[in-house]
Amino acid sequence: MTYWPQLGLGIIFSWGVLIVSMQFNEKLLTDFIILYIGCIFWTLAYDTIYAYQDAADDIKLKLKSTAILFEKNGKIFVMLFYIMFSIFLLLSINLYYFNEIRSIILILVLIGLLLYIRKWDINSESSSNKFFKFNNFIGLGIFTTLVFF
C-alpha cells in the first residue's frame, strides 16, 4: 500500500481535462496537459487536508496517506501543492495568449489562499473539514475568473 492515494485520486479526478482536449480538439494539446498536471496538484492539496480529518483512525487501522507521511509538516506540503497548482494553471492559460488581468487575479487568489491556509490546524478534524470545504470557493473563484476574464 502507498502513502500517496491522494496522487492516484488526482490522476483519476483530473482525467476529464484530457478527455475535453480529445473531445474538442481531437488531440491532446499542451495547455490541457499542463492544466491536467496542475489539477493533480490541486487534488493533492485538498485531499491531503481531507486526510488529516481521520489521520488518527488511519494510524490505528494501519492505513497510509499523505497526512500520515507528512505528519506535522502537512501545512507546508499543502501550500507547496497549491503553489504548484497555481503555477501550472497560469502556464496553461497563458501558453498561447497572455492575459494580464486574469493572471493578476489568479495570483491574488493564490496569495489569499496561502494566507488563509496558514490558519488551518492540522490537528483539528473540524478545521481540516472547514479548509477542505473551502476548496469549493477556490474552484468557483478560478472558474469565474476564467469565464469573465
Domains of the chain in sequence order: 5-148 (1.20.120)
pLDDT tens-place string over residues 8-63 = 999 999 999 999 999 999 999 999 999 999 999 999 999 999 999 999 999 999 99
Confidence of residue 145 (pLDDT cuts 50, 70, 90): confident
pLDDT of residue 149: 81
pLDDT of residue 71: 96
Residue 73 carries which DSSP code?
G
Confidence of residue 80 (pLDDT cuts 50, 70, 90): very high
pLDDT of residue 9: 97
Confidence of residue 148 (pLDDT cuts 50, 70, 90): confident
**What integer is the mean pLDDT of 94-122?**
92
**What integer is the mean pLDDT of 114-126?**
95
Q: Which residues fall within 8 angstroms of residue 145, CB to CB, at 6 or more apart?
A: 102, 105, 106, 109
Give the ranges where 96-149 is alpha helix by DSSP (H): 100-117, 125-133, 135-148
pLDDT tens-place string over residues 31-43 = 999 999 999 999 9
Model confidence at 85: pLDDT above 90: yes
If you compute the radius of gyration of the chain from its CA atoms, what whole number of angstroms results?
16
pLDDT of residue 146: 84
The per-residue pLDDT of the chain, averaged, comes to 95
Q: Which residues fall within 8 angstroms of residue 121, CB to CB, at 6 or more apart?
A: 127, 128
